[in-house]
A and B are shown apart, each in its own frame.
Chain A
Amino acid sequence: MALDITDLKALVGRESALVAARHPVNIPDIRHWSEVIREDDRSYREFEKLTKHAPPAMLMVWTMPPLWSPETPAQSEPHERAIRLLEGAGYATGLVVALEQKFLRPLKVGERLSYRVKLLGVSQGEVDTGVGRGYQLDLHYTFLNEAGEIVSEQLCRRVQVSRVAAQTKH
């Protein structure tokens, strides 16, 4: 399917509805993450006793989509539609190439996050990216807690390419 750039442009500036995290900020996820990322082998009881806040780098963990759910997600938000348009035009692989995160304050255990995504812009046409030729999407994420308080904002540059031009070490 050929890409109609005006369809893509029409989505710029639009923001998604709020998406709620599946679970609140919680000790088991913090422990699993710490074990893998930080080689932190303390027991769950120590985490339960001492951990009051989540590591900031876990911010995006809380709102990740599930591996499987009985309900099929609609995938109809503006940024999802933009990605689907590009996928349909053959730019099937999406990669985040840059991420700018602003943490306004640490997340407390028990807080339940939501986020919304705004499509800030798309490249004028096909561009050369570090991972191959394709389109660039700039996304703005806003993360809020259940009281509507903004806890983090992020700028994310995502590229959609037809083939990843990876430099191999072999």
Chain B
Amino acid sequence: MSREINNVYWEDVQVKQDLPEKSRVIDTTLIAMGATWATHDFMPVHHDRDFAQSKGAPDIFMNILTSNGLMMTYLEQWAGPQAVIKDISIRLSVPNFPRDRMDMNARITRKWEEKGEHLVEVAFNGDNQMGPHAAGTAIISLPTRG
């Protein structure tokens, strides 16, 4: 399997730099597979439409582990395999329902060295058509060119 592997180096990034945006279609498959298959979360509101509606929700909705996973994957796919996410905080507002789309964007807000590690802080957002789904900050350790 030879796939191009990109690494982002600490020297090459600037504060206020935007990460390339990415979108993900939110459908029943992603919500149900994200909950059960990927994250072992069997709470029925995430895979059983009848159950979700009996609880007053209009449809099944995404579980927090899938939301967190999508945001972390977005950041890691940008940074490359040598980067490590050290700390991530995420706030959730509008749920992700099927027949939606989540647009993900992020911006570097801080860049510093600490205990031999080369760190950046990014502020990220995942917005669906109804408004902000997830927002937060992450501290990522990046490789250096040195």
Chains A and B directly touch (beta carbon < 8 Å): yes
B33 in the interface, Cβ–Cβ < 8 Å?
Answer: yes
User: A148 interface residue, CB < 8 Å from B?
Assistant: no
A interface secondary structure, majority? loop
Complex Cα spacing A70 to B37, Å: 19
- Chain A residues whose CB sits within 8 angstroms of the CB of B3 once the complex forms: 70
**Which residues of B from 54 to 90 have beta carbons under 8 Å from A?**
none
Residue of B nearest to A70 (CB): B3
Q: Number of B residues contacting the other chain (C-beta, 8 Å)? A: 4
A50 within 8 A of B: no
Chain B residues contacting A67 (CB-CB under 8 Å) are 29, 33, 37
Chain A proximity of B68: nearest CB distance (Å): 19
What CA separation (Å) do A132 and B3 show in the bound complex?
A: 44
Category for how many chain A residues contact B: under 10
Residues from chain A with Cβ under 8 Å of B37 in the complex:
67
Cα distance, A82 to B29, chains bound together (Å): 27
- The smallest beta-carbon distance between A169 and chain B, in angstroms, is 15
A70–B29 CA distance with the chains assembled, in angstroms: 18
- Mark contacts of A44-83 with chain B using CB atoms, 8 A cut-off: 1 yes-contact digit, 0 otherwise: 0000000000000000000000010010000000000000
Residues in B1-47 with C-beta less than 8 Å from chain A = 3, 29, 33, 37
CA distance A67 to B3 in the complex (A): 19
User: Bound complex: CA of A67 vs CA of B38, how far in Å?
Assistant: 11
Residues of B within 8 A of A70 (CB): 3
Docked complex Cα distance between A70 and B33 (Å): 18
**Shortest distance between the CB of A20 and any CB in chain B (Å):** 13
- The distance from the CB of B61 to the nearest CB of chain A, in whole angstroms, is 20
Binding site for A on B (CB under 8 A): 3, 29, 33, 37
Give 4 CB contacts A-B under 8 Å.
Answer: A67-B29, A67-B33, A67-B37, A70-B3
